Amino acid sequence: MKVIISATLKSFFRREAEAEIGGNTVAEVLKNLTVEYPDAKRGLYDENGKLRGFIRIFADEEDVTDEAKHNESLAGVSRILLLPLVAGGAPTESIISDERRKEIELDDKDIERFNKHLLLREISVKGQKRIRAAKVVVIGAGALGSPVIQYLAAAGVGTIKIVDFDEVTLGNLQSQVLHTSRDVKRPKVASAKDKVRNIDRNIEVIAENVRLDADNAASLIEGFDLVVDCTDNYKSRYLINDACVLSGIPLVFGAIYQYEGEVSVLNYQDGPCLRCLFPAPPAPGLVPTCAEGGTISPLSGIIGSYQANEALKLIIGIGEHLNGRLLRVDTLGLQSSVVKIKKNCDCPVCGSKPTITEVEDFDYEEFCGLKAEEDEIPVEGFTPEELASRIDAGDAMTIIDVREPHERAIKHFPGAIAIPIGQLARRQKELNPELDTVFICKEGKRSILAINTLREAGYKGPMYNLKGGMDAMKDIMFSNEAGWL
């Protein structure tokens, strides 16, 4: 059986994208998979041996995540797909009413501007009027937001609200093509608003330079027809999902990581929501985000274009949609697939007996089941300055770098030993319990997970986290290195 491994899980599978594993049932395949790849057990299962909530398993296009299906025969199945959160049917009518469409007039300039749309039988004048009448919220003006905002503006969407709290940095320009060097240090929403106005000054652009939270999520999307999720963190994705479900607004979901992307339409025509697909996000640090793991620059354009395309089809009322389906694109392996996703009757927000009735803030670690117990030992750490001082003083210690190989290649930490998190438990004998061991990663999150992983495996030596990770330490100078780290 061919098992396809999504990019965010590759660190548990020796960086391999697929594997040939024997087995006549899902249970047998998973068992043999963890024998072949011992580190995979940590990535796939929690401490109670349960499949982690942010992972879905598909046999060809059928969702077989439910353990009740794990002993069913895989006869006729060609492949198994392990799909983590990174995060069909043809509609009969547009999400824009005929009344609103009829209120729109197209002038001579509009006819010239949108002539390529008007020539398409499925769009024509009626479809273009619906586009002009539409009100869309794009949350995130970064990598995914860049193509989404530009294509929605170019298509003539009448009202676009852009929500983001960040400023443009030089590092954004590699994939966030909405912004240019002149926009560095400007709010992303201000830069985005300028670009939209340069495309079409008839578009109403609402720039919201705010951080999305439980208090403002519902109000930010109130009165709009559609929301496009272009964020890059799990907490925002669940807040957006819940706000859309409770407000009855369809959501176009998109996510990217390294060379892979995902797109779906959620909360549409009584279809599934994000919590149906992924009941819980990955634990902090368990899998890297796109900010930690990087993405190839065209990927955001590919996935963002898919999102804009899905949004326009919803607005116009044409074609097949990704409602109840998820598109996965692997640009490195030149593979794509569409898998079916089902509405969960027990979903806490869109199920038959919802327990979430308003947008609520949540503790990320508690939501992931990682809330520290009262008797749990807290993770201690050093600031970059404290660690640099100890290194300069020649203190004996062991430094473990749990980052990915490509991250270490960008910025090397002098004297550090590279051990992936998935290998820590079986390689703990390489550590000296008589010495302090300091764990480092990019942002100081995966290193906390590394410490807890070793504690669970029984390691008793003193362990410390580098607070803020390499991002916080990039400007520290070690005298014995005679240069910047």
* DSSP notation for 402-454: -S-HHHHHHSPPTTPEE--GGGTTTTGGGS-TTSEEEEE-SSSSHHHHHHHHH
pLDDT at 342: 87
Residue 63: per-residue pLDDT: 83
Exactly one of 230, 244, 273, 441 is catalytic; which is it?
A: 441
CATH of 381-484, one of 2.40.10.10, 3.40.50.920, 3.30.70.260, 3.40.250.10: 3.40.250.10
pLDDT given at position 287: 55
pLDDT value of residue 34: 86
pLDDT per residue of the chain (485 residues) written in tens, 0 to 9: 788 877 667 777 877 778 888 888 988 888 888 888 888 887 788 777 888 877 888 888 788 888 888 988 888 888 888 877 653 333 457 999 999 999 999 998 999 999 999 888 889 999 999 999 999 999 999 999 999 999 999 999 999 999 999 999 898 898 899 999 999 999 999 999 999 999 999 999 999 999 999 899 999 999 999 999 999 888 889 999 999 999 999 999 999 988 899 999 999 988 999 999 887 766 655 555 555 557 889 999 999 999 999 999 999 999 889 998 999 999 998 888 888 888 888 898 998 888 888 888 765 455 544 444 444 457 888 998 999 889 888 899 999 998 888 778 778 888 899 998 878 888 988 999 999 999 998 888 888 888 888 888 889 999 999 998 888 887 665 544 444 44
Q: Which amino acid is at 438?
A: V
Give pLDDT, residue 421.
82
**Pairwise CA distance, residues 478 & 304, whole Å:** 42
In the annotation, is 368 catalytic? no
The CATH topology of domain 134-367 is Rossmann fold (3.40.50)
Task: Map tokens 């900010």 to a residue.
Answer: 291
Distance CA 109, CA 82 (A): 49
Q: Catalytic annotation on 276?
A: no
Structure token pair of residue 340: 């079916």
User: Using CB atoms within 10 A of its CB, is residue 24 exposed (0-12), middle (13-18) or buried (19+)?
Assistant: middle
Sign of CA dihedral 340, 345, 349, 350: positive
Tell me the C-alpha distance between 402 and 58, whole Å.
Answer: 30
pLDDT tens per residue, range 5-28: 776 677 778 777 788 888 889 888
pLDDT for 67-106, tens place per residue?
A: 888 988 888 888 888 877 653 333 457 999 999 999 999 9
Contact 415, 32 (CB under 8 A): no
| Phi, psi of 126, rounded to the nearest 5 degrees | -60, -45
Reduce the DSSP state of residue 310 to 3 states and report it. helix
DSSP 195-247: HHHHH-TTSEEEEE-S---TTTHHHHHTT-SEEEE---SHHHHHHHHHHHHHH
Catalytic residue of the set 230, 273, 276, 290: 290
DSSP annotation of 186: S
User: Which residues in the chain are classed under CATH 3.40.250.10?
Assistant: 381-484
Fold of 2-84: Ubiquitin-like (UB roll) (3.10.20)
**CATH 3.40.50.720 domain locations along the chain:** 134-367
